[in-house]
Structure formats: structure tokens, C-alpha cells
Structure 1
């Protein structure tokens, strides 16, 4: 993932990735309310289920050009009907994650 990042002073890699809790509302991906009757049934059953807080794995800290550090994480998503699954990469603000030693490591 970071093979081409040459300045290791601005990158701190976790190998293996460390378990974290990701505040999905802080990422802008979860939260808010949409009445169920305005969303097609196909989307309600097959769409990705996003929770307020989700298990994830932190792959690295990356320093951005303004000096802040952001977390490079992955979160395992499931569809509402549990038929589809995917691990998605995210780059989030440092305040959007918390260490979680009790997270099971299904897929980093």
C-alpha cells in the first residue's frame, strides 16, 4: 500500500494493522436520517449497512502537508441483508478512531 512513499518520517505503518473503532459519523459516512419509505426496497436490503461506530484496522498514520496526522484505516462493510461484504479503505481524521484491542481480526 505504501511501497512508493519515500519519506518515512511522514508515515508510520502498523504491521500487522492494529484494531480500532472508527466513528463513522466523524468520517461523514454515517449519521443523519432518511425516512424508510423514501428509499427503494432494493437499496434498503442490498445497500451497505453503516453503523455509528464500526470495527476497523489502522494501517498507518500519514502526515499531511499542513502538519496534521490522519489515520489510514480499513472497515469491513456488509449489506443490510448480509449477502455482500467488502473491506473499504478510508483516510480519516485522527479524532475519528480509538484503539480497540478486543476487535477480532477477520480481514485487515
Structure 2
């Protein structure tokens, strides 16, 4: 557990949350303006490491997302592969597996 959560960069493509290209003219205007804006790399906060029974490590993180028009916001919890995050600041201790 990280108390307080540590700042990280989350590769949203590696996390399977963002990616791919959809032409703008195929998405309704309502969705383009009010839908969640997910970038390839987003600031997040790591809450914990989870060691899976198969030996893999996954990170428990949260990412704050905003709608494209900035009218709504939400903090979304994610469990992502260890390789999908990087520390957002240099630390002097090694907290990663």
C-alpha cells in the first residue's frame, strides 16, 4: 500500500483503456463533446501492488478523467500490468517489484 498514493504515469494503451483510431465523423457530436477524454499517457496515483497467484505483479491505480468539454470529471480505478506505469517523480527507494 502507498499512503499517500504515489504519483505515476499510466500508459492507457498498455492498460487496454485507450488506443485505436476512430474517425471523428463516425462519432456523434454529443459523444465527442461530453465523452471521457482518454489520452495515451495520463497522470495517475498508485495505491498498491497486487501479486497474482501466477507470479505477475499488477498495479492498483486511479486516474482522473475529464469529459472533452471539461464539464464533468471522475476518478476511475484501474488494475493494470506493472509495465503500464512509470513513477511520475524520481524516488530514492525502490518500491516497484
Instruction: Give me the TM-score of the superposition, normalised by structure 1.
Output: 0.81
- 1:14 matched to which residue of 2? 2
Q: Say what the alpha-carbon RMSD is for the aligned residues.
A: 1.0
> Any runs of at least 4 consecutive aligned residues in structure 1 with deviations exceeding 2 A, and if so which?
none
- Counterparts of 1:20 and 1:34 in 2: how far apart (Å)? 27
SS at match of 1:45: helix
Q: Deviations over 1:29-88 (max 9, x none)?
A: 111100111100000000000000000000000011101110000000000000000000
- 2:25 matched to which residue of 1? 37
- 1:100 matched to which residue of 2? 88
Q: How does 1:1-108 map to 2 (within 5 A)?
A: 13-101=1-89
- Counterparts of 2:54 and 2:72 in 1: how far apart (Å)? 38
- Counterparts of 1:80 and 1:65 in 2: how far apart (Å)? 39
* Unmatched 5+ stretches in structure 1: 1-12, 103-108
- Counterparts of 1:97 and 1:75 in 2: how far apart (Å)? 11
- Counterparts of 1:72 and 1:24 in 2: how far apart (Å)? 13
